[in-house]
Chains A and B, each alone.
Chain A
Amino acid sequence: MKTIKQDPSRSDSTQPNPARRIFLQGLVAGGVMTALGLNPARALAATGKQASPVLHGTEFDLVIDEMPVNFTGQTRMAMTINGSIPGPTLRWREGDVVTLRVTNRLKVSTSLHWHGIILPFEMDGVPGLSYAGIAPGTTFTYRFRVEQSGSYWYHSHSGFQEQNAVYGAIVIAPASADRVAYDQDHVVMLNDWSDSSPEFIFNRLKTADGYYNYVKPDLMDLIHQSEKMGFGAAVEDRLMWDKMRMSPRDLSDVTGATYTYLMNGITPSGDWTALFRPGEKIRLRFINGSSMSYFDVRIPGLKMTVVAADGQDVHPVTVDEFRIGVAEIYDVIVEPASDQAYCIFAQSLDRSGYARGTLTPHADLRAPVPAMDPVPTLTMADMGMDMSGMDMSGMNMGGMDKQGQSMNGMDMGSKPDKPAMNGMDMSGSAHQQMPGMDMNSQSMGGMDMGSKPAKPAMTGMDMGGSTKQQMPGMNMNGQSMGGMDMGNKPAKPAMAAMDMGGTTRHHSPGMDMSDKSTPPAMPGMDMDGAKNKPAMAGMNKSTNPMDLPGLHNRNLKDGILKIDWHPETEHGVGVGMKAQQVSMSLSDPGAGLRNNGRKVLTYGDLRGIDGPISDREPERGIELHLTGNMDRYIWGFNGVSYRDAAPIELKYGETVRIVLINDTMMNHPIHLHGMWSELENDQGEYLARKHTLSVAPGHAISYRVSANAIGRWAYHCHLLYHMNAGMFREVRVV
C-alpha cells in the first residue's frame, strides 16, 4: 500500500499569471509517492520503473478511496485506485478469465469501465446502462474472458471521477507470440490534473466562455497578422471570426491555466524516467487518460514506429510525432542507439503546457526539454466553411496561420479578378485535400489565378478536392508548375486545355496555363464531368461510401463532403454553428501540426493487421452531427443532448456505417463501448480497428460497426465535460 507524502517544500504556490503557472505547476514531482520521503524523481530514476504498481494474474482486488495528493504545492483530495495515481497497471493474458473485485470506499457511488475491452455489457461498468454502479461501502465483482491483447486503460465512468484521477492502464499479453519484438515496455499514461474541483471547472465552462483560454486573439496577434497579410486584411479576418462569434483560438476548453499535465502520474518537474541500454528496443504504450487534453507527442532525436493503435496491431509506420486524442492509445517502438538521454515530450494541443519524461541510459543523465511549438490558429476550413463564392479579395489565408499551415501564402485575388474564383471550391484545408499539391508561399504565387483576362476560364473549376489519386504529384510550387503533371495518363490532353490564368510568373510545361486559345474549354470544367471521365477513369472509385440508406449528405467528391443537409433537430440553443462542407480525407495532421517539418501520424497511415470484424458491407448508414454551443456549454449529437435523446438502436448481427460530421470547432474523441469502431477512408475501405475516433473540426469521419454484442452501450465524446454536457448516447444492440 502506498502512502501519501506531503511535500514540505511548498511555498511556491500557484501564481495567477498562466505563463508562469506553466512552469510553476509541477514543482512537486508526484502526487502520490512512495514512502521513506525519497525524492520520487530520484527514486524512479534509480529503479527505472513507473510510479504505478503492476498487478499480474487473473484475480484483482481494487479499492477506490479518497486521498490527499500534492501536485502543485497545494494539497488536494484525489480519488485513487489502490492508493496510486494512476491506479495499478493491470497485466492480463489473452484468453484468461479475469476477476476484478472493486471496492468503493468513497462517500459517493463509483464505477470502473474497461476502456476498449470487448466484454459482456453487464461487465462494462457504466452506471445507468450496464449496472447501477458501485455504492459506497460495497464491492462489485467483474468477471469476463479476455478476448484480445494490447494496451488499454480503465477509468471511472461516474460523474467527474476521471478528473479526480480514477484511472489506470491495462496491458494484455497475446495468447501466442507477440507480433512485435521488444526488449522492454513501459506504459506512458498522460493525464491532466487540476487543483480545482471538476464541479468548479464545469461551472466555469457553463458560466464563462473562454475562462481557461489564455490564447485568445489579442493585439499582438493582430500585429503579427498585419505584418503578414496587411492591416486591412488582418482586421477583416478578425471581424470575420467575430461576426460568427467564433474564435480561431478555441482550441481547448480546459487548459494549462488550471491543469498540470502528468506522465504516469508525475509532473514535468518530477520527470518520469525509464532506463535503457543503447540498442534496446523499447515499446512505449502511450495512453491518453486525460479528461480534456489532446497531446502532441514526440521524442526529439528518436523516430517512433507506431505498431498498435487503440490496442490493435497496425502495420508499422515510422513517425516523428503523433497527436493523441483523449482516450486514444498508440504503442510505439523506439530504438535509442546512442548513449544519451531523450525527452518524451507531450505538449498539449493549445500549447498551454506539457507532460514530459525521460528515456535515459544513466539515472543522472537528462535530455533538454524542447520549447513548445507556436499556438495553432484555426482556419476557416477548420470551421467547415465553404469558401466557394466567398470574396477572397485581399485575403491572404496564409497570414491567418502563424505556422504556415494549410493555405500559406495563398493570395486569392489581390487583383481585381476574384470574380474569376467564383465557384472555385478551395474548401477544406487545402493541405489535406491536395496532398500532393504543395501550396507553400512561393507556390501559390505561381498559381496566380487569373490576374489576366484568362480567369473567366476558372469559373466552375472545382479544385476543391484534388486528391492524391486524382492529381498525383501535382506540384504547384512556384518554380515548378511543370510538376503539375496531371497526365502521364490520357487525361493530359484534356487538362492541357486548362488555362489557369495566363501570364503567371511560372509556367508549367506539363500543363500549359497560358494558352490563351483554350479558355473556352474551361468554363464548367468538372473533373467528374462526362467529357473528362474517360480520361480520369480509374482515378476515382465509382462507389460512394455515402450512398447508403440513412445517410443524407452524399455529395462526397475528392474527399470533400458538401453538407447540404442537417438533422431537423439541429437548431436552437445547443447549436452554435454548422459546417457547410467538411473534409473526409484522413491525411491532415491537424491544426498546429501541418507542415511542421516532422512526419506526423495521421489516421490515413493506419493499416490494421487484423481485418474488419465482419466481411459484410454496411447495409445502412447512421449520420450523426457533432454539435455544440461553446458559449452555453451545451453539447450533443444532432443538436440533442443525452437527456432528451432516445437510444440509437442496432440490430444484433448487422453492420452499419456511422458517419460523424463535426459541426463544431473542437476535436471530439468519440468512443463506442463494446464494439470496435472500424475506421474507413473516404472510399469506404477498411483501415483499422479503434475504440476511440477523434473527429477534427472541419472534418467528417466514417467507420463501420459490426453489431456483434448485445447490450446497452455508452457512446460518447470522451472529453469529460462534453460528455457531461450532453454529448452522449446509448447505443442499444438487441
Chain B
Amino acid sequence: MNRHISFRTQAAVFAMAFSAPLWATTAHAETAYATSDSGTYQAPSLAQQRADVATLAAESARHETHNPLIYKVMIDRLERDYTNKGNFTQFEGQAYIGTDTNKLWLKGEGKRLGGVTQDADIEAYYSHAIAAFWDAQIGARHDFSAGKTPGRNWLGLGVQGLAPYKFDTTATAYVGSAGRTALRLSSEYDFFITQRLILWPGIELNMYGKNDPERRIGKGLSDSRVVLRLRYEIQREVAPYVGIQWTKKYGQTASYARADGEATSDMQLIAGLRLWW
C-alpha cells in the first residue's frame, strides 16, 4: 500500500513536471530537467538521475513478472474396458494447483463393475520441484473399502516427472498401518505417429511388503497393467483413444485370485477419453 502510494507520487512528479499546473500543489515538483517550454528543455542532471534511482530503489520497486497460480486438471483415463467376461468402466485422474515449484497434487482412480466401485483410491500430496524434470511428493493415500474388502490408509513418498527418454514416470513408496508397505510404479510414453495421432504405451506395477488377505493382495509383485493405446488429439486437451490392455496378477495375489475363482490374467479392449484443462 505504502509502496503504491509512493509510486504514484513519483508518477505525479513526472507528470506534473511536464504537463500541468493541475499537479502543481505537490511539493517536490521542481526537477531541473523538465519545464513545459521545449526550447528550454534540459536533460536531467546526473545528480537528479542518481536521486531518482535512489528514490525508486528505496521503494523496492520491481518490474512485474508473472508467477501465476497454475493449475491443471487431468482426466487421464475415462474409459470402458471390454473383456469376454464382462465390461467395466475405469477412471484415473489427477489435478494440481500451485506455483512452479510448490504444488498441491491430487490423484485418484477407480473401477466400476456391475454397479460397484472397486479398487478405488485417492491420493493427496505436497509436491515440490527438486530437479529440472522431477517433483518429490509427500502425502497420503486412501484405498476405499468395497463390499467386504476393507479400506487402507498409507503415507506416500514418491517422485513424479519425466525420466530420460521422455518417460512420464511416477514412483511412490507407501507405508501403512500394521507394518504394511507398498510400491507403485507407472510410466507412459508418447510416440507421435502424426502430430495428432499418438501411440501411447503405459505400464503400472504394484508391489507389497506383506500379505493382506482381506484385500486379496499378496507379498511381492502383486499385479501389473500393460496398455497400448492410440489417442487422437482433436485438441491438445481432448483426445479419444482406443487400446488394448493386459492385466496380470502374480505370486500370492494370483493364488488368492485362483482361490476366489478369478482369472489371474486378462486382456481388455478399451475405448476412452483423455481430457485436461
Decide if A and B are genuine partners.
yes
Q: Contact between A140 and B49 (Cβ–Cβ < 8 Å)?
A: no
Residue contact B192 to A217, C-beta cutoff 8 Å:
yes
Q: Which residues of B contact A714 (CB under 8 A)?
A: 63
- Inter-chain CA distance A140–B18, complex, in Å, is 9
A–B Cβ pairs within 8 angstroms, 25 of them:
A130-B56, A131-B14, A132-B10, A138-B11, A139-B19, A143-B38, A143-B41, A144-B43, A206-B100, A208-B72, A242-B165, A245-B162, A573-B100, A573-B101, A573-B132, A632-B100, A632-B129, A634-B100, A642-B63, A643-B65, A652-B46, A711-B49, A712-B56, A723-B65, A726-B65
- Cα A353 to Cα B56 in complex, Å, equals 43
Complex contacts, A138 vs chain B, CB 8 Å: 11, 15
By the criterion CB–CB under 8 Å, are A120 and B49 in contact? yes
* Pairwise interchain contact A132-B8, C-beta atoms closer than 8 A: yes
Lowest 3 A-B CB distances belong to which pairs? A132-B7, A141-B18, A218-B192
Let me know if B66 and A140 touch, CB within 8 A.
Answer: no
Known A-B contacts A97-B41, A631-B162; A220 and B194 likewise in contact (beta carbons under 8 Å)? yes
Give the distance to chain B from A102, nearest Cβ to Cβ, in Å: 10
Nearest CB in chain B: distance from A217 CB, A? 7
Q: Say yes or no for A99: interface residue by CB 8 A criterion.
A: yes
Contact between B49 and A631, CB atoms less than 8 A apart:
no
Is there an interface contact between B11 and A208, defined as CB atoms closer than 8 Å?
no
Contact A207 B72 (CB under 8 A): yes
A319 within 8 A of B: no
Q: What residues on A are CB-neighbors of B165 within 8 Å?
A: 239, 242-243, 245
Q: Is B131 located at the chain interface by the 8 A CB criterion?
A: yes
B70 cross-chain contacts in A, Cβ below 8 A: 203, 206-207
Contacts of B246 in A (CB 8 A): none
B164 contact from A121, A245, A573, Cβ within 8 A: A245
Q: Which of B44, B61, B162, B195 is A122 in contact with, Cβ under 8 Å?
A: B44
Contact B63 A631 (CB under 8 A): no
Contact A132 B61, beta carbon cutoff 8 Å: yes
Q: Does A219 contact B (CB under 8 A)?
A: yes
A728 on interface, CB distance cutoff 8 Å? yes
Smallest CB gap from B191: residue in A: A219
Instruction: Encode contact with A along B193-225: 1 for CB under 8 Å, 0 otherwise.
Output: 111000000000000000000000000000000
A121 to B53, CA, bound (A): 9
Q: Does B85 contact A (CB under 8 A)?
A: no
With contact pairs A207-B70, A573-B131 given, residues A129 and B38 touching in the complex (Cβ less than 8 Å) = no
- Nearest chain-B residue to A628 (Cβ)? B132
Identify 19 new A-B residue pairs, CB closer than 8 A, beyond the known A132-B7, A245-B162, A631-B133: A97-B41, A126-B63, A127-B63, A131-B11, A135-B8, A139-B19, A141-B18, A157-B63, A206-B68, A207-B71, A218-B192, A243-B164, A245-B165, A572-B132, A574-B100, A633-B100, A723-B65, A726-B65, A728-B63
Chain B residues near A723 (CB, 8 Å)? 65
Q: List B contacts of A121 (CB < 8 A).
A: 49, 52-53
Is A145 positioned at the interface, with any CB of B under 8 Å from its CB?
yes
B135 to chain A, nearest CB (A): 9
Pair A643/B67 contact, Cβ less than 8 Å: yes
**Contact in complex: A120, B43 (CB < 8 Å):** yes
Whether A128 pairs with B194 at a CB distance below 8 angstroms is no
* Bound form: Cα–Cα A577–B130 in Å: 15
In the complex the two chains form, is A129's CB within 8 Å of B133's CB?
A: no
Interface string of A149-174 (1 = CB under 8 A from B): 00000000111000000000000000
Q: Is B27 an interface residue (CB 8 A)?
A: no
A158 touches B53 (CB 8 A): no
Q: Please report the C-alpha to C-alpha distance between residue A711 and residue B14 in the assembled complex, in whole angstroms.
A: 15
A18 to B72, CA, bound (A): 24
Interface residue A214 (Cβ < 8 Å from any Cβ of B):
yes
Tell me whether A575 is interfacial, beta carbon within 8 Å.
Answer: yes
Interface string of A714-727 (1 = CB under 8 A from B): 10000000011110
CA distance A121 to B52 in the complex (A): 9
Contact of B65 among A143, A244, A574, A641 (CB under 8 A): A641
0/1 string, B53-67, CB within 8 A of A gives 1: 100110001111111
A602 contacts chain B at the CB level, 8 A cutoff: no
Nearest A residue (CB) for B71: A207
* Interface-centre pick from B49, B57, B164, B194 (highest chain A CB count, 10 A): B49
Cβ contacts under 8 Å, A131 to chain B: 7, 10-11, 14
Complex interface: chain B residues within 8 A of A142 (CB): 18
Q: Are B15 and A141 in contact (CB under 8 A)?
A: yes
- What chain A residues lie within 8 Å of B258 (beta carbons)? none
Q: Which of B62, B131, B235 contacts A16 (CB 8 A)?
A: B235
Chain B residue at minimum C-beta to C-beta distance from A58: B38
In the docked arrangement, what's the CA distance between A99 and B40, Å?
13
Which of chain B's residues have a CB closer than 8 A to the CB of A122?
Answer: 14, 44, 49, 52
Contacting pair B129 A140 (CB below 8 A)? no
Q: Is the CB of B194 within 8 A of A725?
A: no
In the complex, chain B residues whose CB is within 8 Å of the CB of A244: 164
Interchain CA distance A576-B38 in the complex, whole Å = 52
Per-residue 0/1 for A679-714: is the Cβ within 8 Å of any B Cβ (1 yes, 0 no)?
A: 000000000000000000000000000000011101
Q: Are the CB atoms of B63 and A18 closer together than 8 Å?
A: no
Contact mask for chain B residues 3-41; partner A; CB cutoff 8 A; 1 contact, 0 none: 000011011001100110000000000000110001001
Whether B194 lies near A129 (C-beta < 8 A) is: no
Within the complex, what minimum Cβ distance (angstroms) separates A520 from chain B? Answer: 42
Given contacts A219-B192, A631-B133, contact A724 B166 (CB under 8 A): no
Measured in the bound complex, the distance between the Cα atoms of B133 and A574 in whole Å is 9
Q: Kindly report which residue of chain A lies nearest to residue B101, judged by CB atoms.
A: A573
A131 to B162 Cα, complex, angstroms: 42
Give A469 Cβ to nearest chain B Cβ, in Å: 38
Judged by a CB distance under 8 angstroms, whether B148 is at the interface is no
**Contacts A101-B19, A129-B56, A218-B192 given: A245-B166 contact, CB under 8 Å?**
yes
Residues of chain A within 8 A of B10, CB atoms compared: 131-132
CA distance A607 to B110 in the complex (A): 67
The 8 Å CB contact of B14, one of A141, A219, A642, A734, is: A141
Residue of A nearest to B33 (CB): A120
Chain A stretch 193-214: residues in CB contact (< 8 A) with chain B: 199, 202-204, 206-208, 211, 214
Report the Cα distance A101→B66, complex, angstroms: 28
* A315 CA to B199 CA, complexed, in Å: 54
**Interface status of A215 (Cβ within 8 A of chain B):** yes
Q: Which of A133, A140, A144, A631 contacts B132 (CB 8 A)?
A: A631
A99:B64 contact, CB within 8 angstroms: no
Whether A216 contacts B66 by the Cβ 8 Å rule is no
